[in-house]
Amino acid sequence: MSVVIDVIRAVANTDAGTQTFTGDVGGLVPKAALFFSNYAVTNDVVATHWGLSFGAASSATEQWCLTANSESGGPSSDTQCTTDSDKVIRINQVGQAVVEGEADLDSFGVNSVTVDWTNPLSNAYLVVVVLIAGSDVQAYAGNKALLDVVNSVIDITDPGFEPQCVITACADSLAMDANQTHIEICTGMVSNEASVQQRCGCYRQSNGSSAGGPDGRLTATHGIMGINSNATLDWRGLFSAFDSNGFTVTTQDGAANDTALMYLALDFGDAVKTSVITHITPTAVGEDSETGHGFKPQFLYQIMNHLDALDTTFNSKQDAGSPGWAVAVADAQHSITAIEEDGAATLTSFSLNGDQLMRLRDDDDTAGIQADLVSFDPLGQTADYININATSPDNPPIFFQLAIEEEPSNFPVIPRVTRTSPQPIYRM
């Protein structure tokens, strides 16, 4: 099999030592893996405190992890954010930079990935793992400092191949292997096919702020960005100039403060296509089909928010307080979300890990957006919306989606169109 991807979920070990996560990638050894976790211990049951662990690896020397947490129940926020270059999972003690548990990549095996819990967890949290395998797959999980200079051009050559897609993450102003006492994270996605398509979403919560006030921002023109504590845009990173060694990131609108860009670069040898699009959630419950990918996916990665406009910073509203991430294959789907109540005298925050394509609760822990994956279709996917948020605050929320094509079985491989312009295009 040239490209095969699986999504699995398991309960994390609470003992030191190795743990193997096993899926089904056709008897192959994965080339890369993604890892998601938070404070949730039971499927679709809200856990107290806001949390996220997001990691990637392509080898024992190529791995990273972004961690953020916010304590629930105080008169002001108590937040932390951490980056690691030698871990794939890290959960901090609530409201602290002190690690509760962490694991690094041990090895890839047949249908599996093994991690080593160098610091065992105190609680058996749920962990979602994406396995990426195939003879045509090239993968590189790396990091690069984005310079503290406006309009700096950073040539990223560590991958050593031309990626078809890049999954991105950062904590604004935070270098690699460092910690800061506020949450300022961004996750993004880039597709490099006939044109470069890129999207990203930011979430910010200042440490010590009262009455809520998290900030959020989405853009469909850049693959990474940062926002300031005063709810304004800080900087954006434009991905372009993909070539046989990697790609270029140009910082625009402001200096990137030496922020560490973490990324997973993937190439599939033109065996399958990739796509990054903007998905507008529907205004009515029931089945809704997305056809913007233009092919039948085998894998979907989704960045979710309650935000309803691009290039606008939302603050002190329910819109900003509930980011989420989701991954799916045909027979498995999982959402990892964090919820921060806005405008409350006593701050309340939650974590949720649900087995649905979309499980994004409102900041007050009501139903929010909820949808099941029905099918992958010839042009995209169909989801059955059980709950919607049609006015958040004025229009349906905007999600971003990265799809990787199901490998065609009886068609010749058609080479990608040569790129002629570094500028991205995007659809709405």
Q: What one-character-per-residue DSSP string does 62-125 give? A: EEEEEEEEE-SSSSB--EEEEEESS-SEEEEPTTSSSEEEEEEEEEEETTEEEEEEEE--SS--
What is the reported pTM?
0.91
Q: What's the CA dihedral at 339, 343, 345, 349 to 10 degrees?
A: 0
Q: Which residue has the higher pLDDT, 327 or 47?
A: 327
Sign of the torsion angle spanned by Cα atoms 308, 375, 297, 325: positive
Contacts of 254 (CB under 8 A, 6+ apart): 150, 226, 233, 234, 235
**pLDDT band per the 50, 70, 90 thresholds, residue 181:** confident
Out of 120-124, 227-231, 341-345, least confident range: 341-345
**Cα distance between residue 33 and residue 334, in whole Å:** 15
Q: What is the DSSP string of 237-295?
A: EEEEEEETTEEEEEEESS--TTEEEEEEEEE-TTSS-EEEEEEEPPSSSEEEEE-TT-S
How much is the average pLDDT of 239-249? 97
Residue 314's pLDDT is: 81
| pLDDT at 207 > cutoff 80 | no
Where exactly are the structural domains of the chain? 4-405
| pLDDT at 303 > cutoff 90 | yes
Rounded percentage of the chain residues whose pLDDT exceeds 90: 59
Task: Classify burial at 137, counting beta carbons within 10 Å of its beta carbon; exposed 0-12, middle 13-18, buried 19 or more.
Answer: buried
Strands 297-304 and 196-205: unpaired
Residue 55 in tokens: 């990691």
CB 16 within 8 A of CB 106: no
**Cα distance between residue 37 and residue 19, in whole Å:** 15
Find where tokens 């971003």 sit.
Answer: 400
Other residues' Cβ atoms within 10 Å of the Cβ of residue 207 = 16
Q: Which residue has the higher pLDDT, 52 or 130?
A: 130
